[in-house]
Amino acid sequence: MIENIFSSHIQSKPIFKGNRDILRPSYIPEELPHREAYIDDLASIMVTALRGNRPSNVLIFGKTGTGKTAVVRYLEREVERLKKDDHESDLDSAFDDYNVHQVEYVYINCEVVDTHYGVMKNIGNKFIDNWSEQIPFTGWPMEKVYEALKERIDEKPRVVIIILDELDKLVTKSGDTVLYHLSKINSELKQSKVSLIGISNSLKFTEFLDPRVKSRLGEEKMIFPPYNADQLKDILGDRVKKAFEYEKIMEEEVIALCAALAAQEHGDARRALDLLRISTEIAERERNPEVNANHVYKAKNKIEQDCVTEAVMTLPTHSKLVMYSILLSSKKGNEKLTTGEVYSGYEELCIKSGLDSLSQRRIADLISELDMLGLIHARVKSFGRRGRTREIQASVPRRETIRTIEEDNSIVPVKELTTLIQQTRLM
């Protein structure tokens, strides 16, 4: 037998017996525990589409991991099943007067597709099979994109339900122009009808909408509350039974612990599922036949570190330099710095990296942004008549965060600069 780097891992006995994706948030199970009432409410609105009429536009609000997207995609899947059953002549007689084949869904994640052009292009291309005729990635005027979209949708009688997930991200970045066009498109269609379902984590984004868009878009509203610990425990228990043999693999306290940790934060089912999945993967890597509480705490630390890494990696270059200065200026990681001390280190980093430095006032703004992200603590301290300053302290693991920043090719790693910054502070 040929040995390679995977041999020892392949020979180890896996904990998962089924599909690992069952423990991922993207998996839509046959049942959604504790969201049955919301499924029924949304179905009562969307059933109008099965009759060939336009359902009301719906806005769905709720924090991350409260089942908003899962409920909407669940109903989408049920419509596809109705189409399949109808094709196989197995549909209940109650649906004899309905035409499920006229209903078509288009799902857009506005965190990924966050421009007017991109949203219009993706919707339009859903109805264009010939690749050579599709709307290009860029280059067309918006009016041409909208006309192409409208023409394709209106080719035959149908009800198009457009799902705009993370809608607040689109509005915050690009405004409400695309929503204006989509909310009034029905007045320009002859054969088809369009209904919108907007999904958002924020209730406040509607404040930025044009009053006309706001009234058309929010014909129906649904608010999803966070899950509590008991509900999360039910959700995890249901997934665990499908993923592997519950009695032999999972200690009783593991599901309860994952549910409790997720409930303490935001009642986030995604967080609970990630905790359970990563806990299981850690146990599997350690070749442990059971998942225990220790694996859960290891998973919690790993997830938190991954969140910090992602936040730091997406920072603009100068924000990374400010963060780098704070981390290098405090050897122990718990040392409090002033804005002036951070700025001195930042200027030295700009020189070493070949970048023009920003003004101290602008750096003070960047420090405030880092504080809002939770990467640092910046507390204002008053000295009476002598004025006031901010005491700045890193709130992330020092060594791992420095390593993450140094992976940016636009920033030259300057490890030897630590001593130089310390000397600058003493001057």
Structure confidence by residue, pLDDT tens digits, 198-247: 999 888 888 888 888 988 888 899 999 999 999 999 999 988 888 876 55
Q: For 78-107, what is the mean pLDDT?
A: 77
Q: Round to whole Å and give the CA distance between 319 and 134.
A: 40
Torsion sign (Cα): 228, 229, 232, 233 = negative
Q: Which residues fall within 8 angstroms of residue 292, CB to CB, at 6 or more apart?
A: 251, 253, 254, 283
Cα-based torsion angle of the residue sequence 103, 107, 110, 116 in order, rounded to the nearest 10 degrees: -50
Q: Return the pLDDT at 44.
A: 95
Q: For 134-140, what is the mean pLDDT?
A: 90
Neighbours of 413 (CB within 10 A): 15
DSSP for 269-316, please give it.
HHHHHHHHHHHHHHHHHTT-SSB-HHHHHHHHHHHHHHHHHHHHHTS-
pLDDT higher than threshold 60 for residue 328? yes
Q: Phi/psi at 391 (nearest 5 deg)?
A: -95, 120
Q: Report how far apart, in Å, the C-alpha atoms of 250 and of each of 3, 82, 138, 289, 347 are.
A: 32, 37, 50, 9, 53
Q: Which residues fall within 8 angstroms of residue 349, CB to CB, at 6 or more apart?
A: 321, 324, 325, 411, 414, 417
pLDDT higher than threshold 70 for residue 401? yes
Hey, is 337 helix, strand or coil? strand
Check residues 324 and 3 and name the one with the higher pLDDT: 324
Neighbours of 96 (CB within 10 A): 7
Do 322 and 346 touch, CB atoms closer than 8 A? yes
Q: Round to whole Å and give the CA distance between 414 and 418.
A: 8
Query: What is the arrangement of strands in the sheet containing 58-62, beginning at the earlier edge strand?
Result: 103-109, 159-165, 193-200, 58-62, 220-224
Q: For 6-27, what is the mean pLDDT?
A: 74
Check residues 279 and 400 and name the one with the higher pLDDT: 279
Hey, is 192 helix, strand or coil? coil
91 pLDDT band, cuts 50/70/90, is low
The rounded Cα 158 to chain-centroid distance in angstroms is 31
Q: Return the pLDDT at 419.
A: 45
Q: Return the pLDDT at 242.
A: 83
Give all domains of the chain, ordered by start, each with its CATH number.
35-224 (3.40.50.300), 228-311 (1.10.8.60), 315-426 (1.10.10.10)
Do 16 and 278 touch, CB atoms closer than 8 A? no
pLDDT higher than threshold 60 for residue 166? yes
